[in-house]
Chain A
């Protein structure tokens, strides 16, 4: 019958069919949503006898599996909710005691003393045995901790409150590992040979402010319930629901709609391009904090010609229009950096001259090292006359990174340097920059965590003996880093960071493109009292004791 009708369709029937189709879609959506009384419009507490204060947070940091050893973002959220770290980081980037305090006389033998009356979610007390076990177990079983605890020889409980850790060498950065360490219960994990595949129901027992609730990967939701017995007291909210969004656009709509009270992205906040459209939205406010990482830098491969020439690197730095990067990439939420790469958000910041665009200086500098246009084709060539092109590796999975690469290309081509943007997803980017080292330059951000790791001040990203995006093999730089790794004297540490800032400015291993802010939008008509944590942003531990859900 359908076929018969089809052929006989005239103009009116086709218009009618289109109309019916549109109405059908609307009707299905309406009926399915239960009319105006949709599931999402019913407040969660309406189903409960006691009013439950629930906070919903949207995030694009997708958890695939709720095993904090296996899943990177589960590790982050575990640290925010269910596990406590041994140490924390203050606003100045200093490591401060959290569950333990420490003492050492030689930076080789460290005594870690429990200073809180903490208990595990199953009621058992947290002891020094747990501290010693956590360090040895994670070093052996979790590759992420292999470098944090690379010099640990042994860790043993001295008494119920104190664990002694013996290192193979002086290592002042050991405390950074303590801030990274999420304490785990020995009585649960001691019999687990492979924590990355452990699926026991007790796998998420911790001693943090929230008790693990549930994870539904299909609907993209994870819940945490308040731990009334937390050593700092009960959190101010009864339950936190994390809602996972695979699209940032959809997450922003969820925020506008009020499905989530805040959005979260670890170590980055939201892309500033989303801020202007949200400014006019009623009920939406922002937490804006200086980024302790450098939002984006142009990293030179300092072991490849001509990027191993300091004058060349300086010449490139004079070609870039930093004001444009602040305007177009950071949407105005940032500032032009100085030649010193360490940003002014750091306690160890030492001021250096501001980076400026200077086309005539670029020309004279490039001319002086022989990079001139020999064949008059409009592009500068190598000193031997062959065509020169600079590769700029950029993260194809980060829209902002590709936009920035286009602006850098524009600026460099304006002074006659031909540029080829090489898009790479995260795996390819890290493989090239950290393993094969087959690149000219790269654009990437640094995280707060990366900034404090290794010898701090971003040394992780520069030193060719570590992650070393900039592939720095400079003996002067290595000497400063090595001394930082074994120096506990804070006066000397400050001097060494000043030395590093001087080297960053003089040698220009990487050009900071702009210093930005971490921007976290939230609904001020739904929630108040959010605190900002240097490591975990709005999901830091302090938030749970100051927040109020309206």
Chain B
């Protein structure tokens, strides 16, 4: 009987969140210091243009920057309702085209990496969390912490130096060219995906290790052990399942990162995905591109969280009683 109320509450909360995110994503870029006209005029012409009202007015009107912010917001909402993400200042192209192009590149790298890191990290974390006092497990845990503490940029440079410069196995950077063969795809993907997988696996392992340690002290775990259950049944029903709700939230967050790209990895591997595109948009104060990209990523994270919530509701009886 409580379920519909729970769902209504959840849905209204998400609806409010979506509107709040759309509004914040519209306002945030405009609150940043700096001026998109710097790039529209060029650095060396900007100052002179500022002293030429006719020139200034013509350009601000062309990009709708002359309208009051409230009116810009209203126009933005209208366009968004029609599914129109707008036109990029810096690319001179429809944003939907740019997002599709760049999102493909990002997902090509982040989806396999996210899946691998979740599988490897969960397996490793469960192992490290069970009887964590063993010397080798403590050493591996410290190793995972070390890997996660190292900046991905540095990991990337190290891997390029070893695998590309010294061993000549992979290209220095760049995504696969259009019409690339499978071999070329894999060749370009190998390093960025491995670095991202290594980094994220370490994070997931650390998180799952903590959850496992927490659960393993529970009386039902000791009781389950004393019954002499088979390892697979013990892990899946008594060790992993209680850890699933926070693990699902973690997966939801990881999925969000997957769509927003991995900025430092994209920069070091010259991979023009969503992370790099958003960074460029921030630099150039490309308001329409920024608000569209942020909104899309936020919606994906919310969607993933909603799914995680729903799954938690199914797997965790405590949530149904709440």
Taking Cβ atoms with an 8 Å cutoff, the residues of A that contact B are 1-4, 6-11, 14-15, 17-18, 21, 25-26, 28-34, 36, 38-41, 62, 64-65, 67, 70-72, 143-144, 146-147, 150, 196-197, 199, 216-221, 243-247, 249-250, 253-254, 256-257, 259, 397, 424-428, 430-435, 447, 449-450, 453-454, 460, 465-468
Question: Is there contact, CB below 8 Å, between A218 and B41?
Answer: no
Question: Is there contact, CB below 8 Å, between A7 and B235?
Answer: yes
Question: Is there contact, CB below 8 Å, between B232 and A4?
Answer: yes
Given contacts A14-B140, A144-B45, are A32 and B165 in contact (CB under 8 A)? no
Question: Is there contact, CB below 8 Å, between B270 and A247?
Answer: yes
Q: Choose one: A25, A33, A430, A466; the contact of B48 (CB below 8 Å).
A: A466
Question: Is there contact, CB below 8 Å, between A3 and B173?
Answer: no
Interface pairs (20), CB distance under 8 Å: A1-B232, A2-B123, A6-B126, A10-B136, A14-B140, A25-B190, A32-B185, A32-B186, A38-B169, A40-B171, A143-B40, A146-B52, A147-B45, A218-B272, A219-B177, A246-B173, A247-B157, A250-B160, A397-B283, A428-B33
Given contacts A29-B163, A143-B45, are A259 and B172 in contact (CB under 8 A)? yes
Question: Is there contact, CB below 8 Å, between A3 and B126?
Answer: yes
Question: Is there contact, CB below 8 Å, between A467 and B34?
Answer: no
Given contacts A424-B33, A431-B34, are A217 and B272 in contact (CB under 8 A)? yes
Q: Does B23 contact A (CB under 8 A)?
A: no
Residues in chain B near residue A150, CB distance under 8 A? 52
Chain A residue, CB-CB nearest to B172: A254
Residues in chain A near residue B234, CB distance under 8 A? 7
Chain A residue, CB-CB nearest to B271: A246
Residues in chain B near residue A30, CB distance under 8 A? 169
Binds A, one of B13-21, B88-96, B242-250, B297-305: B88-96
Residues in chain B near residue A143, CB distance under 8 A? 40-42, 45, 49, 55, 59
Question: Is there contact, CB below 8 Å, between B47 and A434?
Answer: yes
Question: Is there contact, CB below 8 Å, between B178 and A218?
Answer: yes
Chain A residue, CB-CB nearest to B273: A218
Question: Is there contact, CB below 8 Å, between A468 and B183?
Answer: no
Chain B residue, CB-CB nearest to A58: B172
| Interface of chain B: mostly helix, strand, loop or mixed | helix
Given contacts A28-B194, A29-B190, A244-B270, are A253 and B172 in contact (CB under 8 A)? yes
Given contacts A11-B136, A32-B187, A217-B272, are A434 and B173 in contact (CB under 8 A)? no
Residues in chain A near residue B187, CB distance under 8 A? 29, 32-34, 38-39
Question: Is there contact, CB below 8 Å, between A427 and B284?
Answer: yes
Q: Choose one: A4, A64, A219, A449; the contact of B235 (CB below 8 Å).
A: A4
Residues in chain A near residue B45, CB distance under 8 A? 143-144, 146-147
Question: Is there contact, CB below 8 Å, between A218 and B173?
Answer: no
How far, in whole Å, are A250 and B157 apart by their CA atoms in the complex?
A: 7
Q: Choose one: A72, A219, A253, A460; the contact of B174 (CB below 8 Å).
A: A219
Name the interface residues of B35-54: CB closer than 8 Å to any CB of A. 35-36, 38-52
Task: Kindly provide the distance from the CB of B90 to the nearest chain A CB, expressed in whole angstroms.
Answer: 6
Q: Does B258 contact A (CB under 8 A)?
A: no
Q: Does B77 contact A (CB under 8 A)?
A: no
* Sample of 10 more A-B contacts, CB < 8 Å, known A64-B280, A246-B267, A426-B43: A4-B230, A4-B232, A7-B234, A14-B137, A26-B163, A218-B101, A247-B267, A249-B268, A427-B285, A428-B34
Q: Choose one: A2, A4, A146, A253; the contact of B165 (CB below 8 Å).
A: A253
Q: Choose one: B52, B92, B163; the contact of A70 (CB below 8 Å).
A: B92
Taking Cβ atoms with an 8 Å cutoff, the residues of B that contact A are 32-36, 38-52, 55, 59, 90-93, 101, 105, 120, 123-124, 126-127, 130, 134-137, 140, 153, 157, 160-161, 163-165, 167-178, 180, 183-191, 194, 198, 230-232, 234-236, 239-240, 266-272, 276, 280, 283-285
Chain A residue, CB-CB nearest to B92: A70
Residues in chain A near residue B40, CB distance under 8 A? 143
Residues in chain A near residue B170, CB distance under 8 A? 29, 32-33, 38
How far, in whole Å, are A31 and B183 apart by their CA atoms in the complex?
A: 8
How far, in whole Å, are A257 and B28 apart by their CA atoms in the complex?
A: 42
Q: Choose one: B47, B136, B169, B173; the contact of A254 (CB below 8 Å).
A: B173
Given contacts A32-B170, A247-B173, are A8 and B134 in contact (CB under 8 A)? no
Residues in chain B near residue A41, CB distance under 8 A? 168
How far, in whole Å, are A41 and B168 apart by their CA atoms in the complex?
A: 8
How far, in whole Å, are A3 and B119 apart by their CA atoms in the complex?
A: 10
Question: Is there contact, CB below 8 Å, between A3 and B232?
Answer: yes
Task: Kindly provide the distance from the CB of A4 to the nearest chain B CB, expressed in whole angstroms.
Answer: 4
Q: Choose one: A4, A32, A34, A72; the contact of B231 (CB below 8 Å).
A: A4
Given contacts A32-B186, A32-B189, are A216 and B34 in contact (CB under 8 A)? no
Task: Kindly provide the distance from the CB of A93 to the nearest chain B CB, expressed in whole angstroms.
Answer: 16
Task: Kindly provide the distance from the CB of A145 to the nearest chain B CB, expressed in whole angstroms.
Answer: 8
Question: Is there contact, CB below 8 Å, between B48 and A147?
Answer: yes
Given contacts A432-B33, A434-B46, are A253 and B186 in contact (CB under 8 A)? no
Q: Choose one: B41, B124, B165, B268; the contact of A256 (CB below 8 Å).
A: B165
Task: Kindly provide the distance from the CB of B89 to the nearest chain A CB, expressed in whole angstroms.
Answer: 9
Chain B residue, CB-CB nearest to A425: B283
How far, in whole Å, are A196 and B41 apart by their CA atoms in the complex?
A: 12
Residues in chain A near residue B153, CB distance under 8 A? 247
How far, in whole Å, are A244 and B135 apart by their CA atoms in the complex?
A: 47
Given contacts A4-B231, A144-B41, A257-B164, are A32 and B183 in contact (CB under 8 A)? yes
Task: Kindly provide the distance from the CB of B215 to the nearest chain A CB, expressed in whole angstroms.
Answer: 13
Q: Which of B36, B168, B230, B276 has the most CB of A within 10 A?
A: B168
Q: Which of B170, B173, B230 has the most CB of A within 10 A?
A: B173
Chain A residue, CB-CB nearest to B183: A34
Residues in chain A near residue B186, CB distance under 8 A? 28, 31-32
How far, in whole Å, are A301 and B84 apart by their CA atoms in the complex?
A: 44
Question: Is there contact, CB below 8 Å, between A72 and B173?
Answer: no
Chain B residue, CB-CB nearest to A31: B186
Question: Is there contact, CB below 8 Å, between A245 and B177?
Answer: no
Chain B residue, CB-CB nearest to A147: B48
Question: Is there contact, CB below 8 Å, between B127 and A14?
Answer: yes
Question: Is there contact, CB below 8 Å, between A218 and B175?
Answer: yes
Chain A residue, CB-CB nearest to B173: A250
Question: Is there contact, CB below 8 Å, between A430 and B35?
Answer: yes
